[in-house]
A and B are shown apart, each in its own frame.
Chain A
Amino acid sequence: MSRVRVLVGTRKGAFVLTSDGTRENWSVSGPHFGGWEIYHVAGSPADPDRLYASQSTAWFGQLIQRSDDGGTTWEPVGKDFDYEGVPGTHQFYDGTEVPWEFTRVWHLEPSLTDPDTVYAGIEDAGFFRTVDGGQSWQELPGLRAHGSGPQWQPGAGGLCLHTIIQHPTDEDRLFIAISAAGAFRTDDGAKTWQAINRGLKSDGIPDPDAEVGHCVHRIAMHPSRPDVLFMQKHWDVMRSDDAGDNWYEISGDLPTDFGFPIAVHAHEPDTVYVVPITSDSLHYPPEGKLRVYRSRAGGNEWGPLTTGLPQQDCYVNVLRDAMAVDSLDDCAVYFGTTGGQVYASPDAGDTWAPIVSNLPSVLSVEVQTLP
């Protein structure tokens, strides 16, 4: 029978949650790296027992941990993230120039085919790769050579490269997103990149439809339809049908279109999930009700999913990397909250139950579907 393994990164350590395919009874392992911020834990699609974790604190800096046994034991690997050349400057919040400086690794994206190859998105925004299982990391500097780098500015969380999506069959095509620069695509294996932000409109930047400067929070793709992208922007839920060349709004009847994560059902490429948040200044659900919204029409028409979720006095947030789906037939959906709950819905969102309720604030949730 299939199993699932949920990889949870929190403000104070990593947790590994496992269950059989019923997803009713869970075992909890952790905290791993207790006391450290774990921005992301990810497993290799090519070898599910190969995991990578980004471990950091403001005190002692960045480490990368690797597991070869599904998260039971871990070993620190390479942690040098040196920009290629002289990195130059980007904009600070007030528009002044500040030098590029490494802060932390936000996101690890293992290759679809090689467990030793992993892409890393870092703050200040840079795109790195290892091809030796994490022992060494090299910047793929084409992204920062895009030319718009001096115009990039940090979102509230920093100038972070937080989303990396691989095309399912064309290894030269990758999508990334940066807060607050926007989305970019490469078609030549990260040598060159183009900004793909046409159609986005953002208040809070001098030119609302500028080529770069948009606070993209998350992008999602279904591998069966890799030209269709869904985006949760700071405000606005957006869709592209041409690999990001053009975007249009699909917020439709959502109660608010501010939010962080966005995810696509494992088997229904037009079924999309978001978690509406009140506003950019009120990072909690409207009316104190934690509601996931699902569209089965690829956007515009959304319905609330509430069964099993708190519907009063709930003021948690769900961060951009903290929602995921498994690939079992009935496609469970998972998300973690800043209040330390990790919820699972084994029926694609119809009903929810907490797997754990009292973890540290959750930064990221990934799911592995295991044989």
Chain B
Amino acid sequence: MIRVKLPTHLRNLAHVNGEVVLDVDGEASVSSVLEALEGRYPVLRGTIRDQNTGKRRAFVRYFACEQDLSHDPADTPLPKQVIAGEEPLLIVGAMAGG
């Protein structure tokens, strides 16, 4: 069970309140969590990562356990606290004003 916290715009798009809880097949990584997330909420396809290349969108970042995971390979296992459901994976719109 993986907890995911989405930014406001994406929560609105997916019509969810609060955190999303996902069951992820196999070893949980950013990639497999996004796979599960987009599977449940198809409207989010393309909003976090490119639909064709899987590349993270430039203004999106991934945080967990006070670490920035944005630049790790997307199939890197998530921190054990995230896998244990103790901490959420944060998907964040980069701070850029406006």
Decide if A59 touches B93 in the complex (CB within 8 Å). yes
Indicate whether A57 reaches chain B with its CB closer than 8 angstroms.
Answer: yes
Q: In the complex, what's the smallest C-beta–C-beta distance from A15 to chain B, in angstroms?
A: 17
Q: In the complex, what's the smallest C-beta–C-beta distance from A63 to chain B, in angstroms?
A: 7
Q: Which residues of B contact A60 (CB under 8 A)?
A: 7, 9-10, 13, 47-48, 57, 59-60, 93
Indicate whether A310 reaches chain B with its CB closer than 8 angstroms.
Answer: no
Question: Within the assembled complex, what's the spacing in Å between the Cα atoms of A35 and B94?
Answer: 15
Indicate whether B43 reaches chain A with its CB closer than 8 angstroms.
Answer: yes
Interface residues on A, range: 10 to 19
Question: Within the assembled complex, what's the spacing in Å between the Cα atoms of A61 and B58?
Answer: 10
Decide if B9 touches A35 in the complex (CB within 8 Å). yes
Decide if B9 touches A58 in the complex (CB within 8 Å). no
Indicate whether B54 reaches chain A with its CB closer than 8 angstroms.
Answer: no
Best-buried of B9, B51, B96 by chain A (most CB within 10 Å): B9
Chain A contact surface mostly: loop
Indicate whether B85 reaches chain A with its CB closer than 8 angstroms.
Answer: no
Decide if B9 touches A36 in the complex (CB within 8 Å). yes
Q: Which residues of A contact B60 (CB under 8 A)?
A: 59-60
Question: Within the assembled complex, what's the spacing in Å between the Cα atoms of A61 and B8?
Answer: 15
Find the B residue at minimum CB distance from A35.
B9
Task: Tell me the A residues contacting B by CB distance below 8 Å.
Answer: 35-36, 57-63, 76, 79-80, 82
Q: Which residues of B contact A63 (CB under 8 A)?
A: 13, 43, 47
Interface residues on B, range: 10 to 19
Question: Within the assembled complex, what's the spacing in Å between the Cα atoms of A62 and B51?
Answer: 12
Q: Which residues of B contact A76 (CB under 8 A)?
A: 13, 43
Q: In the complex, what's the smallest C-beta–C-beta distance from A7 to chain B, in angstroms?
A: 21
Decide if B94 touches A80 in the complex (CB within 8 Å). no
Task: Tell me the B residues contacting A by CB distance below 8 Å.
Answer: 7-10, 13, 43, 46-48, 51-52, 57-60, 93-94, 96
Q: Which residues of A contact B46 (CB under 8 A)?
A: 61-62, 79-80
Decide if B57 touches A59 in the complex (CB within 8 Å). yes
Q: Which residues of B contact A58 (CB under 8 A)?
A: 58-59, 96
**Smallest CB-CB A-B distances: 5 pairs:** A60-B47, A59-B59, A59-B93, A76-B43, A61-B46
Question: Within the assembled complex, what's the spacing in Å between the Cα atoms of A36 and B52?
Answer: 23
Question: Within the assembled complex, what's the spacing in Å between the Cα atoms of A76 and B43?
Answer: 7
Given A76-B43, A79-B46, answer yes or no on A61-B9 (Cβ-Cβ < 8 Å). no
Q: Which residues of A contact B93 (CB under 8 A)?
A: 59-60
Question: Within the assembled complex, what's the spacing in Å between the Cα atoms of A74 and B20?
Answer: 23
Find the A residue at minimum CB distance from B93.
A59
Question: Within the assembled complex, what's the spacing in Å between the Cα atoms of A60 and B58?
Answer: 9
Decide if A61 touches B13 in the complex (CB within 8 Å). no
Question: Within the assembled complex, what's the spacing in Å between the Cα atoms of A59 and B56?
Answer: 10
Q: Which residues of B contact A79 (CB under 8 A)?
A: 46
Q: Which residues of A contact B9 (CB under 8 A)?
A: 35-36, 57, 59-60
Question: Within the assembled complex, what's the spacing in Å between the Cα atoms of A57 and B93?
Answer: 11
Q: Which residues of B contact A59 (CB under 8 A)?
A: 7, 9, 57, 59-60, 93-94, 96
Q: In the complex, what's the smallest C-beta–C-beta distance from B42 to chain A, in angstroms?
A: 9
Find the A residue at minimum CB distance from B50.
A61
Q: Which among A35, A61, A82 is the interface contact of B47 at CB below 8 angstroms?
A: A61
